[in-house]
Structures are given as C-alpha cells and as structure tokens.
Amino acid sequence: YIENIIIINFKRLCSVARLITEFFVVITELILIIMDLAKVKVGTLSGKANWSVWKFKVSVLLQGLPDAMEVVEGNLKRPDEPPSSATIEEKAAYTTEKQRFATANSIALVVIMNNLAEYDIQKIMRFFTAHDIWQELHRLFDGTADDKSFDLCSQFNAKPRCPSQL
C-alpha cells in the first residue's frame, strides 16, 4: 500500500517537473521576444491626430505575439488562486496560467509603452494591466471628450508659484 502511494506521488512529481521544464523553455523564448520588442517602433502616438493608424499598427504587432492581443482585449486574465486544498496538478496549472498571463501582459505593455510619448504615459501610469491601459487609451482618443481634468491639472502644476503663495 505504501509503495503504491510512493509510486503515485513520484509519478505526480515527475509530471509537475515536466510542466516546470516546459514552462521555463517557453519563458526563455518569450524573454528573447520581449528583448526584440524593445527595438520595434510603430511610431509615437500623437493624440487623436494619429490614434486610428497608431492603434491599427500596435494591434497588428500585438496579434503576432503570444497571447498579447488576448490580454489587451481582456480575454486572457490573471487566474484566480486555487484553494489551499488544491492538488499539486491544480497548483502547477495555476502557476503556469499565472505566468502565461504575466508574460503576455508584459509583452503587451512593452509594445504599448515603447510607442507612447512621456506625456501620454503620465495619463495611464495608474493602470497596471495592458487591458486597462488599452481601455484608457480608447477613452482618451476614441471618443469626443478630451481628458480635460488631466490637462487642467498638468497646466496648474506646471505654473511657477511665488514663495509667498506657498
């Protein structure tokens, strides 16, 4: 009986080890892709003036990268953590999916950020996922409403103040 338990657990451990090895191979490949992405430029977003063309170029680039467009569109999300009673296989699957999301999100963030001006990056710095940033860029540049509150705050904070007014 104990031998059977040992054999079953050993098989599970081998299965998890195989998943981890495959995971690290994929991560290494993705790191190389991300390093190459730093060199890819579609052009800097210039507000509403080139939003449509910029969005198209970035979308095309993201579609060619593993899971990047899925993250941007919100179809690939960070998985929920399994309960403490989860099996080793369930925990390994969670770890794999969590890393898949994190890697795809990082790839998408690199592509988006490398093609934004500092001014536009300041508008989206409060977001942490590529999906949230993409949604905010749509809000800022797709519709008719400008981000007036941000512009007003930026203008106010940029004005020099007299020491007596502080």
The full set of domain ranges for the chain reads 2-157
Alpha-carbon gap, residue 110 to 113, rounded angstroms: 5
Alpha-carbon gap, residue 133 to 112, rounded angstroms: 9
pLDDT at site 53:
95
Closest CA to 88 of 22, 26, 24, 18: 18
pLDDT at site 120:
93
Alpha-carbon gap, residue 131 to 77, rounded angstroms: 9
Considering the entire predicted model, what is its pTM?
0.67
* Residue whose entry in the numeric block shows the structure tokens 């050993």: 10
pLDDT at site 9:
81
Phi, psi of 71 (to 5 degrees): -70, -45
SS (H, E, C) 124-145: HCCCCCHHHHHHHHHHHHCCCC
In order, the DSSP letters of 50-92 are: THHHHHHHHHHHHHTSTTHHHHHTTSS-PPPPPPTT--HHHHH
* Residue whose entry in the numeric block shows the structure tokens 């890393």: 99
Specify the 3-state DSSP secondary structure of 147: coil
**Alpha-carbon distances of 3 from 6, 10, 75, rounded to whole Å:** 5, 10, 44
pLDDT in tens, the chain (166 residues): 788 888 888 888 888 888 888 888 888 887 777 667 656 788 999 889 899 999 999 999 999 888 999 999 999 999 999 999 999 999 999 999 999 999 999 989 999 999 999 999 999 999 999 999 999 999 999 865 544 455 556 556 666 666 555 5
